[in-house]
Structure 1
Amino acid sequence: MTDATAFAVHIPDADLAPDPLDPAQIVSGTPEVSGRVLWESPDGRQIRGIWQITPGVVTDTEADELFVVVSGRATIEVAGGPVLEVGPGDACVLREGDRTTWTVHETLRKAYHISLP
């Protein structure tokens, strides 16, 4: 995490730290997650960072999030909602409480902004 100083980071090759999945989230395959928080608001309700997942299928309950895919491809099924196909250059918005199933076809790396309640 950085302080209030302006900065730039090259997302495609930024170093990330392992962020193990809850085994209950894994539907199939052996997906591995890593990430790096770049900035967090003092109250912890706004988070910006980089996140990556290797191929497999996982479930999640989302926060309010805007992300841009830097590399890779995935299909995100939103329960009771759309099926989203995302790849490099795509921006995606997920809402607090969305229940999702992510089918990751190619290791996906994204830059994100999350807003917590």
Structure 2
Amino acid sequence: MLSPDVRTAALSEDLPAGDVVVDGEPRARLAELLDTEHGGIGLWEMTAGVAEDTETDELFLVLEGSGTVSFEDGESIRLEPGVLVRLTRGERATWSVQDQLRKLYVSL
């Protein structure tokens, strides 16, 4: 049974925010809440800045913060609490975070 408070759960030490930092000095932190052979559930946080990354199959819900995630096909999604997003393995994304972003993710 999982029972952490996802708003205040402790996360890892600072990690690189993505494959490439585009602007600022964004950092990421995470906590794996459940890891199985079929996927996992966790928390991920990114500080303000812009970073590019290659995504994995994932569904996530924004818990806190604000920003935008943009994709190579030109699609852009505004990120704010309550927004649910589906990412696809191999997809390139640019994360532009204005206010520290925290998401709950389910890797598929």
Report the TM range for the smaller structure's normalisation. over 0.9
Identity percentage of aligned residues: 32
Other-structure match for 1:40: 35
C-alpha separation in 2, matches of 1:90 and 1:111: 11
After the TM superposition, which residues 74-89 of structure 1 pair with which residues of structure 2 at under 5 Å, given as runs? 74-89=67-82
Between Structure 1 and Structure 2, whose CA radius of gyration is higher? Answer: 1
Question: Out of 31, 43, 49, which is 2:26 matched to?
Answer: 31
Comparing 78-87 and 104-113, the one that deviates more: 78-87
C-alpha separation in 2, matches of 1:88 and 1:24: 25
C-alpha separation in 2, matches of 1:57 and 1:88: 19
Cα-Cα RMSD: 1.5
The unaligned stretches of length 5 or more in structure 1 are: 1-5
Question: Out of 6, 9, 12, which is 2:7 matched to?
Answer: 12
Q: Give the TM-score of the pair, scaled to structure 2.
A: 0.93
The unaligned stretches of length 5 or more in structure 2 are: none
Q: Give the TM-score of the pair, scaled to structure 1.
A: 0.86
The number of residues matched between the two structures is: 108
Task: Specify which structure has the higher proportion of helix.
Answer: 1
Other-structure match for 1:65: 58
1:80 CA displacement: 1.0
Task: Specify which structure has the higher proportion of strand.
Answer: 2
